[in-house]
Structure formats: structure tokens, C-alpha cells
Amino acid sequence: MPVSYEPLTPVSFLDRSGAVYGDRPAVVDGRRRFTYRELRDRCLRQAGALAGLGVEPGDRVAVLAANGSLLLEAHYGVAYAGAVLVALNTRLAVAELTAIVDHSGACVLIHGPELADAARAVQAAARSGLRLVSGGEEYETLLAASPPRHEAVTDERALLALNYTSGTTGTPKGVMYHHRGAYLQSLAMVSHFGLNGDARYLWTLPMFHCNGWCFTWAVTAAGGTHVCVPRPDPALVWPLIAAEGVTHFCAAPTVLLALVSQATGAVAEPPRHIVVAVGGAPPTPRLLEDCAARGLEVTHLYGLTETFGPLAICDWRSEWNQLPAAEQARLRSRQGVGNVIACTTRVVTADGEDVPADGVTVGEIAVRGNNVMLGYFNDPEATAAAIPDGWLRTGDLAVVYPDGYLEIRDRKKDVIISGGENISSVEVEAVLARHPQVLESAVVALPDPKWGERPVAWVTLRQPGAVSAEELREHVRGALAGYKVPDRIYFGELPKTSTGKIQKFVLRQRANQGCGAQGGWPQS
Amino acid sequence: MPVSYEPLTPVSFLDRSGAVYGDRPAVVDGRRRFTYRELRDRCLRQAGALAGLGVEPGDRVAVLAANGSLLLEAHYGVAYAGAVLVALNTRLAVAELTAIVDHSGACVLIHGPELADAARAVQAAARSGLRLVSGGEEYETLLAASPPRHEAVTDERALLALNYTSGTTGTPKGVMYHHRGAYLQSLAMVSHFGLNGDARYLWTLPMFHCNGWCFTWAVTAAGGTHVCVPRPDPALVWPLIAAEGVTHFCAAPTVLLALVSQATGAVAEPPRHIVVAVGGAPPTPRLLEDCAARGLEVTHLYGLTETFGPLAICDWRSEWNQLPAAEQARLRSRQGVGNVIACTTRVVTADGEDVPADGVTVGEIAVRGNNVMLGYFNDPEATAAAIPDGWLRTGDLAVVYPDGYLEIRDRKKDVIISGGENISSVEVEAVLARHPQVLESAVVALPDPKWGERPVAWVTLRQPGAVSAEELREHVRGALAGYKVPDRIYFGELPKTSTGKIQKFVLRQRANQGCGAQGGWPQS
């Protein structure tokens, strides 16, 4: 390769930090602490261990683990082995995990020791040949016995990771991340959030969500410290914030709401300044106020799994600090502008024309650029549907204000976002349809003060009264993650267009108006 | 191009800032102020104007102008026209400027109105066909009459700019900058210096030096404000710092020394916090102390024209704040570690082996990566000499400390760095040799408290006493920029090795020991 060219890969950030911040803290994970030299050594040995297990360049390696050094190390070790990381959502049911493992063709599943039962169930259900590696003692023994390995990245557009999303169709889709995109998105996160060598980043956001919005790599690029927490439990988070001097964290509004409403102990201290990135839904004015009172400076983000996480950022302008609080909250709840490396973010009509920047005309957010996925893994049809004309359609409907900031007004896709997790209404409907008594069904989002949205279902039974709402919920629970089970199930006929299409907007209106009230639907 | 790929170009930063910070301040240049929307519009029209003058993609456009909006706009406008920017050092003599214009094959020379005489002299001396465009009224009329133009960048490794350096040989060499390198180097500057939308960057560093170490693009990427100053005169700088709320600037130690020693008026106010990047020579402990007292946080950088400016950064570790002041100054004067996008920075022996990180063993700094030039324009021999084996040899000799930070100990090349400007000793020797009375000569660096280094010459005349030192200085002044004229000229025989090579180290020792004292050389 010419002297002036090196393939861009986020793994190079660990190479640099391992070399130049060797004795500085890289990871805090419970009682364990690793310097950057140690972290890099562990990741190189993880690569060696994977190679020892027969993993070859291009193979997929799945990881089922809570936030911690094990999963963080996989963000480098798997790439050092030349393989492709598949970070699994720990909240999924065994059937869902198995579908992803099979679809990705993963040959190894690394799992946290506390998730051994789920991992073994997946192994039993998946096609043969899946090797398990347990975190904890087994993993440490393996690392100690394995030589360091470092496969060079020769193609910066090669596959780095698969991130599965339920999306709109219900079939899991493997979003293909490339090295170049992850590298650039990481630099964008460093820039926008001012990460530097003194950053103490708390892992409240699951690393399995878009690889932690690329902060798995960005924090390392800046030479900051990854402070791990297995779950964003306020009882764990606040003491860590105090003890570790946390400077940054990311969260869905639901998580942030729980944190500020269950602030204990350490929070009684004078507020420190913490930079918080919030995505998945707009933060409410009340939440913003509560955060400000605790020294949390909230920046609102917007993105998709398909865009390496944060695509747009509600970049705060200091002149807005002079505005009334209500106006500030309104401005801060907007999704904002494309991040510094997001080449082009548009809002377009059905014909692909840009909408006027009038804050009124609604269009669909369409993007292209280096932080867009390569496509869906082994799914050219879904890829073509998402990218009809060289622009990724996000399915989110938005307006653009005269200052260039966009705000989402509605969602085109049948996706319900609950606590920052995507739920495909189609997927839930498909499970409901498998029940012998269900004739047809429709699942829509119900606004929820805690979770943002929750799924509710309208079901037409073959024999009215033959099955109860609770029995149907149990049926869904057997196939899907618990958070996907509809909170409520209503029975009756579904409103349809003259051509027979279910009018989901009518159901959404009913849901908003208290359900069951209109049309005499019996409430579950 | 696929949805997931856009060529990296620093021009895209202006596209973004023009769109999302349209009404925010982009440029302050004397009494003129432009928003980002205005700046982008002016740059697009500059491109249109260049096209109207017959500039085609790939053509070179030279600019001879002091720091100001005209030169800043050329950093985008020339690229919008698909052409290649050649920013000229305003301190060069007409003969030097002409050599660069001819070597680059520039077809247009844009110049500041105050440099019209020099521009016309270059036009008269250069090969025919050079068009002049004067800044000021002529330029404004041209902008107003020209349609916006935006040639798409299709190859991110294409030529963006030529930056001429006298280097070691004396023949001007055109360092070829590519779009990708400038884009990534800009993001590195944003990251390391915490540039954001509130940054007010003061242009004390000439924009013609490595395109202002890529801050011409980095400040725009962050959406900060370019505060222009035509020269780093303390009488201009301090009032601007106060009036414009400057947050960042870059400078050579010489310039910084002048600033802190001639601080007036505004400086009597309580110090504000300003981030200062210093390069070209290590800052002295005394200078660092004086800066700290004025609220200037100094970061030491190291780089070459060949590396888009700052290649390494003396990344400050907060734990060092606890050390004694003298120790802090020692640490801060080191050149540091490769910046976040500088892929690989090594210190190697003559055999290309890494030296041990012992703070003692000296080797040559060798680099490769995305912020390395494509090569020297139309000069494959010089390119091959600089890059013998896939690694750019910097000519700087350094040690590596156990913490990974490097420190320069000596220079391999015959380059004298005076006030941040490179002077090729070979170039000065070549001019001396053109004088009929000069038999041979040797030019070496003399340490200088103000300029860092200054050139001094030893000359053997054909007929001793036939010409005076002052006459020879006048001879050099006729061909080269004033700062290249040797401060002192000594006459006599030159010390040589048995094979006839001039022993410059002997001359350096003499220079350090007060010159003339040894060997009975008459002082000029």
C-alpha cells in the first residue's frame, strides 16, 4: 500500500492507545481494572484464542454478554482475528437468538457466565457446529494460553460487525457494518462529545446496540476510560458515577428517566457536569429540567442501526442559552442536523424531492454516506427495499426548520420503540397468527410515559371468547422477548379500507383515546 | 457510488456548516464578517469565477495573500472548481515565487491587493499565460458576476493542494496533499484541540503553512469562527483576542514569544483560557511559564509539510499536573505521540528497526499513513529519496521514552528552521556559489534566542578579500527571501573529511562556540 494510505479501521484506535496510553486506565469492570496496554494484550489474545478455535478471517463470532470487559474486548479481538462481530441483544428469547445465530452463520458464541443456560439452549437449537466460550474462568484460561494475533485489515470497506434489527418485517436483518464507517463514526462521536484522555465513559447504553453507538471504539480513540455497568440500574449507576468520576454516558430517555427519578445517595452531593447523549426518543421538557438540576448536559441524538447509531445530533448553539426554558426544551427535543461525518441527510417527498425548510412540510428522512451500512446480510431484497435509489430510507417522517434542524413527526414503518428497543409490529403479529384461534391481528404503538411506546394488539378470533388476552400474551411470551409482549390485547373486528387494508391509524387513534372506548371494543 | 460511500474531502465540511450553521459567524476579517451561508456562497462563486477564467479540473491555482477571507475562501473555492490550491509563502522573493508558479504550472494567481507589485513581477517573469486576479474590488465584482459552481470530488485520493517546501535540496518541492488526508487531519485537529461551534480561532499561523496545519478546514468542520489577522503582530493580536473572544490559536514559538513579551492593553485583564498549539520548535520552560500566567494552555506539536502539518502531539496527561513545574516543562517540550489519525509513527535505526523506548537511543522518525503526502509534484526522484521503503523519512532524529512519547534530538537534514520557516542550507549555498568570487561555501544553523535558529555561512573566496560579507549578503538578498540571508558570513578554508566532504558538524561547533574563535577565522 502507498505510504499515504492506511485502511481505516476502528481497531487502530486500540493499537494507538495501547502504545501511547499504555499505563493509563482503559477499563473498569467491577473489581477488575485494565490499562490500555493490558486491554490491547487481552484483545490480541482473544484473537489468538478464536483462531485456535478454528475461526478464520470472515467468519462470524457471536457474543451474548452484558456490558463488561468481555463484550468490549470482543469489539477488538474478533476484528484482530479478521472475523465479524455479532453482538447479541441479551433481552431476546432463545428462539430469537437462535434465529440470529443461524442467519449470521456464527461458528462461535462467546457468552457471559451468567448467560450459560441461554447459550446452551441456543447451541442445542442452532444448526450444528456452534462452539461455546464462557466468560470468566474458562475465558481467562484461554486468553492466558493463546498467542497474540493481529490480522491486518486490508479493505476498509470489509465487514466488521453484524447488528441484527427486527426492523419492519419481523425477520431479523443483519445490518452490515464496515471498518471505514465505524472509524469515521467514532471520530464524529469524539468530536461532538468532546471525548479526550480524561473522559470517564459509563456504559449505561448496551454495547449490543449499534456497538454502543460506536462509543466502544470512540472512547478508546480518545484514550478515555470505559466504566462498565452490567445494567443501567440506578442503584449501580449513581455510586459508580461518584466513585469513578464519570464524565459521559449515553441512554434512552426511559433509562435517563429512571436514573433521575431514582437518584440516591451520591446525587445529594453538588451536581457535577456530565455530558449525556440521549437517543431513541426525544427527551421531554420535564426530563431535561430534571437532568439540568443534576448537572447532566443532555444532547439529543437520532439514528438507526443502519447508520452506525447517531446519524443526526441536536447540536446545541450557545446563543440558545439565552432563550426561555420552554423554548430551549423545544429546540433540544429536535433530532438536529447530520453529524460531522454524516455526508448527506435529507428530508424528501415520495418523489425524492427535498421538502422546503419551513418546519411544516413533512417528508421522509433519507441519508447516504460513510456511516450507512453496506446492506442487510444475505438479504438483497430487504436491502433493495431500504435503499431504492441510492438513498437509505429511514422510515421516519420529519420536518426541516429554517435553521436546518430536523424534527421527527411520525414513523412510516411499523416499528414500536419501547425503552430504546425496536419492536416490529409485524413480528408480533406473525406470532399471534400462529395461535390456532387467531384470525387476524394488528399491533400498534401506544404512547407510554415510562417506555416511550408500548405495543398493544387488536385481535379478531375465529371463535369469539375462545381464548383470553392473558392466554394470548402467554403465547407471545413463549416466542419473543418479554418486552415485545403487547401490554393489552383487544378483541373484535379490525377497521379496514375498501381494498381490505387494515387501517392502523384508526387503531392508533383508538389507542390514544383510551382504547376500547370507540367501537365498543371490550378491553382485555 | 454505493449508499455507504462518499469520498472524503474537507470541502464537505463547508457544505455541512453552510447548511446547518448558515446564520452563524464563519469569518471575521477586519470590518468584514461572513456567516457560514455567505462563506459557502462566496466559495462557490469563486469556483464559478475560476471556471470563467478557464480553470479546469486538475489545474493549479496559486494564491499570494496574507491571512484573510480571500485566502481562506481559496481553500474551498479552488477545490469547488475541481482545481488544486497552491498557497504561496508571502515572504518569498519574486524569483522564488516565480519558480514555484512555473513548477506547479499554475494558470491563475489570485493575490491580495497589497501584493499587486509582487504578483505582476511574477507574471512578467513566469512562463506566459498566467492570469492575475486581484483581491478587493476586482475580486468582489468577479464573485458577484459568477454563478456558483461545485465540481464533485469523485476520488478522495486526488490532488487537493500543493504546498511548496524548500526542503533539503534547495529546489522547491511541491508536497502533494490529497482530499482524504486533509479530511482526516482536520478531524484530528478538531479532536485534539476540542474545536466546537463556540471556537473562535485566531489566524496567527499563516494559512500558507501546510494550509494552516489544516485548521483552514478543521475550524469549519467544527462550525467555529475564523478570526483573521494579516500578520501576528502583538499590537493587532491582543485587541482581537479581547474583542472577538478568541479561544484557540496556533503559532511558532518565536511568534508566541513575541506575543507574550509584547502583551499590551487587553492583557492587563484577568487571563482568559486560550488553547494554543505550538509547533516548529519546542517551547522553552520560560515561555511555557509566561504563557500559563496569561491563561494560554500550550500544546506542543510536531510535523512536516509532508504530513499535512501536525503529525505528533504532546498529548497532555492530567496526572502530570501534579508534577513540579520544571518536570512539567520538560514533558511538555517533547514532540509527543502520533495524533489520533496518524496511523504509524516510528523511530527507526538506519536498518529500519525500531529503537528501544529507553529515552536514550536515537533513531530517525519515520511515518506512514493517511496524513502523509502523495509525493512531490513532478519529482519522482525526490519522492523516492524521501520514501525509500514505504516509510517517509522525516530527517528528524529522536528518542522514544518508556511512556511512548518521542523527543527530537537532532536533525539529519540540512534544514534551518527560523521563526517556523524552513531554510534549505543547500539553497543558500547554491546562490552563494553563483557569485563569481565564491569558490565554495557551507551554510549551517546557529541557535538564536528569538528565531530558534538563524543561518550563518562559511565561504572560501577565489581571491581572499575580493568581496565583503555585506556584498555577499546583498547578492543572496537579490535571489532569496530576506529571512534566508545568512546573519553572518565568515571567510576561510572549510574543514573537510579525508574524502573531501565538508564537515558541517565542525562548523556547527564553531558557531556554538562563538564562531571565528577557533581556527582564527575573521568574523564578518
Nearest C-alpha neighbor of B296 from the set B243, B335, B256: B256
B495 and A CB contact within 8 Å: no
Cα pseudo-dihedral B54, B55, B60, B65, rounded to 10: 90
**Residue A313 φ/ψ region, left for φ over 0, alpha for ψ in the -120 to 50 degree band, beta for the rest:** beta
CB contact under 8 A, A13 and B387: no
CA-wise closest residue to A212 among A335, A309, A342, A297 = A309
Q: Are strands A60-64 and A32-35 parallel, antiparallel or unpaired?
A: unpaired
C-alpha cell at A123: 447451541
Q: Tell me which chain B residues have a C-beta less than 8 angstroms from the C-beta of A340.
A: 13, 16, 187, 190, 221-222
Measured distance CA(B11)–CA(A517) in Å, rounded: 57
With a cut of 60, say whether residue B454 has pLDDT above it: yes
Given a contact cutoff of 8 angstroms between Cβ atoms, the answer to whether B366 and B394 are in contact is: yes
Judged by DSSP in three states, B298 sits in strand
Residue A510's pLDDT is what?
79
* pLDDT (0 to 100) of residue A508: 80
The predicted pLDDT at position B477 comes to 92
Q: Is A6 on the interface with B (CB under 8 A)?
A: yes
- Nearest-neighbour CA in chain B from A219: distance (Å): 12
Give every CB contact of residue A262 below 8 A, 6+ residues apart in sequence.
Answer: A234, A235
User: Which fold, B415-520?
Assistant: GMP Synthetase; Chain A, domain 3 (3.30.300)
Nearest CA distance, B15 vs chain A (angstrom): 9
Burial-class residue B47 by CB neighbours within 10 Å (0-12, 13-18, 19+).
buried
Residue in B6, B23, B180 closest to A368 by CB: B6
Check: CB of residue B160 under 8 Å from CB of residue B153: no
From B2's Cα to the closest Cα of chain A, the distance in A is 7
Q: Measured between CB atoms, does A404 come within 8 Å of chain B? A: yes
DSSP A309-362: EEEEE-PPPGGGGGS-HHHHHHHHTS-BEE-TT--EEEEE-TTSPBPPSSS---
Half-sphere exposure of B366 (CA within 13 A, CB side): 22
pLDDT tens-digit readout, B213-267: 999 999 999 999 999 999 999 999 999 999 999 999 999 888 898 898 887 655 5
Burial degree of B469 (CB within 10 A; 0-12, 13-18, 19+): middle
Residue A199 C-alpha cell reads as: 473522559
- Mark A207-217 as b/e (b = at least 16 C-beta within 10 Å): bbbbbbbbbbb
**Residue for grid cell 486581484:** B134
Query: What's the rounded Cα separation, in Å, for the pair A8 and A24?
Result: 24
How far from each other are the two terminal CA atoms of chain B, in whole angstroms? 65
Q: Residue B508: its pLDDT value, please?
A: 81
User: What local confidence, expressed as pLDDT, does residue B18 receive?
Assistant: 96
Helix axes B425-433, B469-477, angle to 10 degrees: 110
pLDDT at A269: 58
CA–CA gap between residue A323 and residue A331 (Å, rounded): 10
Paired with A17 in beta bridges are none
**Residue A258: CB atoms within 10 Å:** 18
Q: Which amino acid is at B485?
A: V
Does A37 reach chain B within 8 Å, measured CB to CB?
no
In sequence order, the 6+-apart residues with CB closer than 8 A to the CB of B268 are none
Q: Check CB contact under 8 Å for B6 and A391.
A: no
CA dihedral sign of residues B188, B193, B197, B201: negative
pLDDT at B271: 56
Residues from chain B that touch A275, judged by Cβ atoms under 8 A, are none
Contact A124, A94 (CB under 8 A): no
pTM (two decimals) = 0.89
Most B CBs within 10 Å: which of A3, A190, A373, as the mutation test of the B interface? A3
Which residues on chain B are in Cβ contact (under 8 Å) with A317? 24, 197
Please identify, in words, the CATH class of the domain defined by A343-411.
mainly beta
| Min distance B225 CA to chain A CA atoms (Å) | 13
Residue among B70, B76, B105, B107 nearest B90 (CA): B70
Q: Among A255, A45, A1, which residue's Cα sits nearest to residue A146?
A: A45
A vs B, Cβ pairs < 8 A, gives 127
- Crossing angle, helix B215-222 and helix B179-193, to 10 degrees? 60
Ranges in chain B annotated CATH 3.30.300.30: 415-520
From B330, B225, B238, select the one nearest B284 (Cα to Cα). Answer: B330
pLDDT of amino acid A494: 86
Q: Is the pLDDT of residue B174 over 60?
A: yes
A392 reaches B (C-beta below 8 A): yes
CA distance B441 to B502: 9
CATH code linked to domain B11-332: 3.40.50.12780
CA pair distance A233, A231, nearest whole angstrom: 6
Question: B285 phi and psi, to 5 degrees?
Answer: -55, -40
Q: A32-35 and A25-29: which strand pairing?
A: antiparallel
Of B16, B191, B369, the CB nearest to A338: B16
Looking at residue B290, its pLDDT comes to 87
Q: Which residues on A lie below 8 Å from B8 (Cβ)?
A: 370
Q: Which of residues A85 and B270 earns the better pLDDT score?
A: A85
Whole-angstrom distance between the N-terminal and C-terminal Cα of chain A? Answer: 65
Chain mean pLDDT for chain B: 91
CA distance B232 to B352: 40
Helix (H) or strand (E) holding A297: strand A296-304
Of chain A residues 209-228, which have a CB less than 8 A from chain B? 221-223
Of B1, B315, B372, the CB nearest to A197: B315
Most confident of the ranges A234-238, A361-365, B11-15, B333-337:
B11-15
Q: How many other C-beta atoms are found inside a 10 Å radius of the C-beta of residue B54?
A: 11
Q: Which three cell numbers stand for residue B111?
A: 493575490
Instruction: Judge contact between B234 and B281, C-beta under 8 A.
Output: no
Task: Report how far apart, in Å, the C-alpha atoms of A403 and of each of A60, A100, A357, B20, B59 are.
Answer: 44, 42, 8, 7, 36
Give phi and psi for B415, each to the nearest 5: -115, 135
Stretch(es) of chain B classified as CATH 2.30.38.10: 343-411
pLDDT value for B267: 52
> Which secondary-structure segment (H or E) carries A480?
none
pLDDT tens series, chain A, 524 aa: 899 999 999 999 999 999 999 999 999 999 999 999 999 999 999 999 999 999 999 999 999 999 999 999 999 999 999 999 999 999 999 999 999 999 999 999 999 999 999 999 999 999 988 999 999 999 999 999 999 999 999 999 999 999 998 655 557 899 999 999 999 999 999 999 999 999 999 999 999 999 999 999 999 999 999 999 999 999 999 999 999 999 999 998 888 988 988 876 555 454 579 999 999 878 888 888 889 888 899 999 999 999 999 999 999 999 999 999 889 988 998 999 999 999 789 999 988 899 999 999 999 999 999 999 999 999 999 999 999 999 999 999 999 999 999 999 877 777 888 888 888 887 888 889 889 998 888 999 888 888 889 999 999 998 999 999 999 999 999 889 999 999 999 998 888 776 666 788 788 877 776 544 333 444 44
Candidates 3.30.420.40, 3.40.50.1820, 3.40.50.300, 3.40.50.12780; CATH matching A12-332: 3.40.50.12780
The answer to whether the CB of A94 falls within 8 A of the CB of A118 is yes
Residues B290-306, mean pLDDT to the nearest whole number: 92
Task: Give the three cell numbers for residue A365.
Answer: 428522512
Considering chain A, tell me which residue range(s) the CATH 3.40.50.12780 domain(s) occupy: 12-332
Whether A122 contacts chain B with CB within 8 A: no
The more confident residue out of B450 and B36 is B36
- pLDDT > 70: percent of chain B: 94
Structural contact between residues B406 and B301, judged by C-beta atoms closer than 8 angstroms: no
Whole-angstrom distance, CA of residue B292 vs CA of residue B286 = 10
Q: CA B215 to CA B226: how far, in whole Å?
A: 9
CA B275 to chain centre: 19
Amino acid at B59: D
pLDDT for B518 equals 37
Alpha-carbon distance B226 to B283, whole Å?
Answer: 25
Nearest Cβ partner of B390 from A3, A157, A181? A3
pLDDT for the residue B494: 87
Q: Which helix (H) or strand (E) holds B87?
A: strand B84-87
Nearest residue to A412 (alpha-carbon basis) of A392, A393, A390: A393
Of B192, B394, B207, the C-alpha closest to B277 is: B192
- Which residues on adjacent β-strands are paired with residue A29? A32
Which one is predicted more confidently, B17 or A521?
B17
Residues in B closer than 8 angstroms to A198, CB to CB, are 318
